[in-house]
Chains A and B, each alone.
Chain A
Amino acid sequence: MFRILVLALALALPPTLSQAAEVTSFELDNGMQVVVLEDHRAPVVVHMVWYKVGAADEPPGKSGIAHFLEHLLFKGTDDLAAGELSATVARNGGSDNAFTGWDYTAYFQRIAADRLELMMQMESDRMRNLQMTEEDVRTERDVVLEERNQRIDSEPGALFSEQGRAAQYLNHPYGIPIIGWRHEIEQLNRDDAFAFYKRYYAPNNAILVVAGDVAPDAVRALADSHYGPIAPTPDLSERVRPAEPPQLVERRLAFSDARVSQPYVNRTYLVTERNSGDQQEAARLTLLAQLLGGSGATSVLARKLQFESQQAVYSTVYYDDVSLDESTFGLIVVPTPGTDLKSVEGAMDQAISEFLDEGIDAEHFERLKFQIKASQIYADDNIQSLARKYGEGLASGLTIEDIEGWTDILMAVTAEEVIETAQGLFDKRKAVTGWIMPAENGEVIQ
């Protein structure tokens, strides 16, 4: 009963939904890109600066320097004492933070809209005028080591993930963890941080995203006066990282840790990412991930492994579509108590093979398309994640047009195209399969 009703409604939706958030973009004379997203529902603004530099741009042997530098950016400038920027944001009723990825480093504040200029003053100040003492560097390096302790070394899943990526990427620096290898973090110093900072923290390597209760003209005037005077870094080269050679050998990892209670299988394949002007293959992969493992009850792996054969308690499929270079497509299956890892991995492969033979259920595909359409409506409710979507996309090699065209590209994908992509995807020579096990697990990885 519900289904008939819904299909009728799906047809009634206009092909492209109008966005509540108005998007404006322009470039300053020094090459800094600016994006303004208007949302006047609340007197609040999100101010973000994204640098087109991340962990995959680090010099060899200096893993973690991009993330360490992100921490040091809170230490102060010629005009701001250590910690003063965050304290000033807080005293003005705002919150601030930062994050580092393989392809970007971003800083942001959320605050009352009438404090935007203060944010720009301080953020533009620390783009070029960073100061830090040896003492700051030593203490903050200890903080980062504790962060690594907490996020990676205390989490067996994260430890495996690190090893899995190192095995997945034979040559590309995506195989190196964002936070850095412990032995390299321990050696990072002030000179490393400054060298990285001076090269990459520049207006012509940055994107400003301002979202919320603001007018584009006012943002332009403020950006001109605060970011505009900053000199660009000349001859900043294209971001070309060491590329992957052909991957010819299946990789299998057996990982044991006493802190694992629930064993599981994790497999990743090397795949393409969204490229500017060429997002079709990534769109097919996005839909494929949704079909195979996007929902706890209705996706293909859940149906076959959790409901029918009951060999898994949980399954999921993930794909990172936004990335500057080649990405990964991953599957996780968690076996039921009576099922060993070999059996559940076999069942996963069997389920994929059946899926390729059976093709895509038309109603399932239709439901996904309707959800994609609706997600545009829901996305307008969260201006910060919208701002993040633009910042991340632009810092990862996409254009505004690519970002805005993405939904239409997803909507245009056919079931046949998804199957065609799937048929080329599941090549184990490009895959890393991990068995994550408790310490005394007797199973032998095949």
Chain B
Amino acid sequence: MIRLLLTLCFLAAAVPARAAVDIQTLTTPGGIDAWLVEEHTIPFTALEIRFKGGTVLDPPGKRGVVNLMTGLLEEGAGDLDSRGFSEARESLAASFSYRAHDDDIAISARFLTENRDAAVALLKSSIMQPNFDQPDIDRVREQVLSSIRSDRTDPGAIANQTFDRLAWGDHPYGSSSDGTEDSVTALTRDDIVAAHENAFARDRLYVSAVGDITAEELAALLDELLGDLPATGAPLPPKAEMMLGKGITVVPFDTTQSLALFGHQGIERDDPDYIPAYILNEVFGGDGQSSRLMTEVREKRGLTYGIGTVLLPMDYGELIMGQVRSDNAKIAEAVRIITDEWASIARNGITEEELNDAKTYLTGAYALRFDGNAPIARIMVGMQMIGLPPSYVTDRNDQVMAVTLADIRRVAERIYQPDKLHFVVVGQPEGLDGTN
């Protein structure tokens, strides 16, 4: 009986829920573009700010400076020292976070309607007038060094750094954005001030807001907060060259479970084949529990707790890559299965049933992402950075539904390249020899 009911529900599933957000676009009197969703039921606002060009802007020999500079933004500004700044922020019950990524610096803020102006003034001081006092530089530097030291014995960090170095060589993508112990130790206050001037400018700014605020209020807020930024920042870097070839790199490490990263060249976000590629990745190793890799490596053989793959379209290079952890005695079998599956999807693509299942999952799951002010603001700022229009929110599912099996076959053959697939294995894998 239950089975019959389920079948009926499958039919109903053809019409997925739509993301119900009403995006307004605006340009402030001062000339700042922003996207807004008004949501007045809860008296706070989530604000997302991005500056393109993150840790890739580290000058040669100064690896880690953008990361350290970003970490210092909340350590004192204007009249306030480090603790004074935190006390002021806590007094407002606002939260600000500052994160340095490879391709951007992300600032996320959340503040109550009732003290919005004071929160914005405080946030502004941290972006426009950070103090970078020497004792704070030294203290935060020690925190970064502590993290760099911890990475030395962390299999995940070792694997990532090895994979990145092999893939990207001397491009900033090829090394940890934290920097090395040597490079971070050598950074001076002047380096940090220069990194600040390079990073924050109007020519690379993206903004979105969701919450208890009108378009007019937001426009005034943004001109006050960001209107004093300089027009231009440092030049952005060139594309990185992918250097990875087929092979297995083993990094010996004393632990019971091996960790493997695997992948090769990916696909650009604005490539017309991106959506078919996204569907393929979903079927192959996506976040649904029933991906091909989860089925073959976990469900059928119990070789791992989790395995997944992602498309990583970055601004200066693209990867398709995955991760798996498996007992030292079993990782070789996992590597063999992944290699076989990689070849199989390249050769045969996916079945019509897999395509249809992925479509209903992806189109239904899309609406679930819009679940709160901050998540919606993050989605909107991300769309702006990759050049998508607001209408993508309503058109995106149609684009997914329009993909045909023929598209999938063509794109599978194009993006999965078994003769380029590289594994980096950290651990003491049995029966797996490094090939380079």
Contact = CB atoms under 8 A, between A and B. Distances in A.
Interface of A: 1-3, 5-7, 9, 12-13, 20, 41-44, 74, 79-80, 82-83, 86-88, 90-96, 110-115, 118, 121-122, 125, 138-147, 149-151, 153-154, 258-262, 295-298, 303, 306-307, 310, 313-314, 334, 336-337, 363-364, 367-368, 370-371, 373-375, 377-378, 380-384, 438
B149 interface: yes
Contacts of A2: 88, 91-92, 118, 122
Contacts of A74: 289
Given A139-B302, A258-B153, A313-B142, A3 B43 contact: no
A297 B357 contact: no
In this complex, which of A91, A110, A383 has the most chain B Cβ atoms within 10 angstroms of its Cβ? A91
Contacts of A122: 2, 6
A92 B327 contact: no
B142 A337 contact: yes
A3 B368 CA distance: 39
A91 B371 contact: no
A314 B139 CA distance: 10
Q: Chain B interface: which size bin?
A: 35 or more
A314 B143 contact: yes
A86 B112 contact: no
Contact of B153 (A83, A260, A313): A260
A146 B115 contact: no
B87 interface: yes
A297 B300 CA distance: 49
Given A91-B360, A115-B9, A303-B83, A125 B2 contact: yes
B43 A140 contact: no
A142 B372 contact: no
A146 B2 contact: no
Contacts of A261: 149-154
A298 B183 CA distance: 29
- The 7 A-B pairs of least Cβ separation, nearest first, read A93-B364, A142-B302, A374-B93, A297-B86, A112-B17, A147-B305, A6-B91
A83 B325 contact: no
Contacts of A371: 90, 93
A90 B257 CA distance: 30
B406 interface: no
In this complex, which of A95, A374, A438 has the most chain B Cβ atoms within 10 angstroms of its Cβ? A374
B301 interface: yes
A80 B5 CA distance: 12
A6 B42 CA distance: 20
Contacts of B139: 306-307, 310, 313
B36 to A, nearest CB: 16
Interface in B363-377: 363-368, 370-374
A146 B302 contact: yes
Interface in B270-317: 287-290, 295, 298-306
Contacts of A337: 142, 145
Contacts of B82: 297, 307
B353 to A, nearest CB: 10
B146 A143 contact: no
B33 interface: no
Contact of A377 (B39, B44, B155, B290): B44
Given A90-B290, A368-B90, 7 more contacts: A9-B115, A86-B288, A114-B12, A259-B154, A303-B83, A336-B142, A377-B44
Contacts of A146: 257, 302-305, 325-327
B392 interface: no
B337 interface: no
Contacts of B436: none
B134 interface: no
A134 B286 CA distance: 28
B83 A154 contact: no
Contacts of A112: 16-17, 364, 367-368
B290 A95 contact: no
Nearest to B138: A310
Interface of A is mostly: helix
A154 B363 CA distance: 37
Contact of B86 (A41, A42, A111, A296): A296
B2 A95 contact: no
Given A121-B5, A139-B299, A90 B305 contact: no
A83 B299 contact: yes
A114 B364 CA distance: 11
A257 to B, nearest CB: 9
Contact of A143 (B19, B118, B298): B298
A262 B360 contact: no
Nearest to A264: B146
Contacts of A141: 302
Contacts of B91: 2-3, 6-7, 367, 370
B312 to A, nearest CB: 21
Contacts of A150: 257, 305-306, 325
A197 B416 CA distance: 43
Interface string B242-275: 0000000000001111010000000000000000
Contact of B371 (A42, A149, A334): A42
A382 B372 contact: yes
B365 to A, nearest CB: 5
B20 interface: yes
A94 B149 contact: no
A93 B400 CA distance: 13
B255 A154 contact: yes
Interface string B78-104: 010011011110111100000000000
Contacts of A1: 79
Contacts of A364: 87
Contact of B17 (A93, A143, A373): A93
A79 B3 contact: yes
B9 A118 contact: yes
Contact of A374 (B112, B145, B302): B112
Contacts of A147: 305
A98 to B, nearest CB: 11
7 contacts: A93-B367, A115-B13, A149-B256, A150-B306, A313-B139, A377-B44, A378-B110
B41 interface: yes
A87 B46 CA distance: 34
A88 B17 CA distance: 16
Given A139-B301, A146-B325, A367-B87, A259 B255 contact: yes
Contacts of A363: 87
A121 B41 CA distance: 33
Nearest to B282: A90
A391 to B, nearest CB: 17
B10 A91 contact: yes
Interface in B322-377: 325-327, 357, 360-368, 370-374
A127 to B, nearest CB: 13
Contacts of B325: 146, 149-150, 154
A149 B327 contact: yes
